[in-house]
Amino acid sequence: MNLKPGRVFSGARPTGRQHLGNYLGAIKNYVALQEEYESIYCIVDLHALTTLESTLDLRQNCFEMALDWLAAGLDPQKSIIFIQSHVPQVTELHTILSMVTPLGKLTDLPTFKEKVRQNESNVNYGLVGYPVLMSADIVLYKTDLVPVGIDQAPHIEFARETVRSFNYWYKTDVLKEPQMKVTEVPKVIGIDGVNKMSKSLNNHIELAATPEETQQRVMSMVTDPQRQRRTDPGNPDICNVYAMHKIFSSPEEVEMVNRECRTAGIGCVQCKKLLAQNMNAYLAPFRERRNMLDQRPDEIWDVLEDGAKRARVIAQETMREVRAAIGLP
């Protein structure tokens, strides 16, 4: 008997090995939510096709992502974990929802305009319909809550409006309006000290990096630009290294760095070495679990296949209700 208060759904594009931004912004939250809610987490490979120039690495990227999720603590006994395209009902629902979605509504979305700027040479139909497929992902599984940062609120509101349009058009209530579960999503700045951490900008630190690779990346982090010499006092409030200390170092160490940086009692090199040491200590259990799981790749695929089977059970029932509501023969 399921006594959990509701069902959570979230999806992420298969970007391969995950980095600190992925972990702090999403994965850590996924792990916490599975303890409280019935949780469904999906690797959205079909979404990736809208902008991918090549699919050569797509399968491996799905594997690496699942590997990182499991190593970080997602539990297939507590969560359904699967690949989007392994549940074909999502494309059927996408098609049906597209029939009640005005084209102008899609092209007016700020996210669409941004994607056009990023992919001017490939503005395809899938890119336009991306929010409809996202809505299908969510409502196919009778989702109660979608964990998002406040900046993602328009996506959830679009899904809610799509559900209302479908239910109004076909005089039914079979599709459920999802609610937002606004979560604290920290904006993790990359090692360049300017942009959000991202693989495409090569300013990231991979969770699965070796301790040596991690230290090398940390040592290259941009610090307070006004601090030119070791004897110059610094301003930790504008330093990304200090921001990372607040995540990976003890309160006592954070206080020490804050104090000593302002008085030039500690230099940037020493500060970075301490951060790298603490970051590696924090990630050590994850890396150990990942290395163990990586030795058993068939088990990763088994988890994804089992997750897809469980997801299909929910999806089939939803689509049975949807077809009946429409009156499809």
pLDDT in tens, the chain (329 residues): 567 889 999 999 999 999 999 999 999 999 999 999 999 999 999 999 988 888 999 999 999 999 999 999 999 999 999 999 999 999 999 999 999 999 988 988 877 777 778 777 778 888 889 999 999 999 999 999 999 887 788 889 999 999 999 999 999 999 999 999 887 767 899 999 999 999 999 999 999 999 999 999 999 999 988 888 888 888 999 999 999 999 999 999 999 999 999 999 999 999 999 999 999 999 999 999 999 999 999 999 999 999 999 999 999 999 999 999 999 99
Q: 110-135, pLDDT tens digit by residue?
A: 777 777 787 777 788 888 899 999 99
CB 244 within 8 A of CB 279: yes
Q: 222-248, pLDDT tens digit by residue?
A: 998 888 888 888 899 999 999 999 999
**Is 215 in the same domain as 103?**
no
**Is 183 in the same domain as 44?**
yes
Q: Which domain holds residue 105?
A: 7-188+297-326
DSSP 132-178: HHHHHHHHHTT-SEEEE-GGGHHHHHHHHHHHHHHHHHTT---SPPP
pTM of the model: 0.93
Q: 84-100, pLDDT tens digit by residue?
A: 999 999 999 999 999 99
Nearest to 14 by CA among 44, 41, 34, 37: 44
319 contact partners, CB below 8 Å, separation of at least 6: 89, 92, 93, 140
**Is 308 in the same domain as 279?**
no
Does residue 283 sit within a domain? yes
The alpha carbon of 242 is separated from its chain's Cα centroid by a whole number of angstroms, namely 24
Number of independent structural domains in the chain: 2
Q: Give catalytic residues, as residue numbers.
A: 115, 196, 199
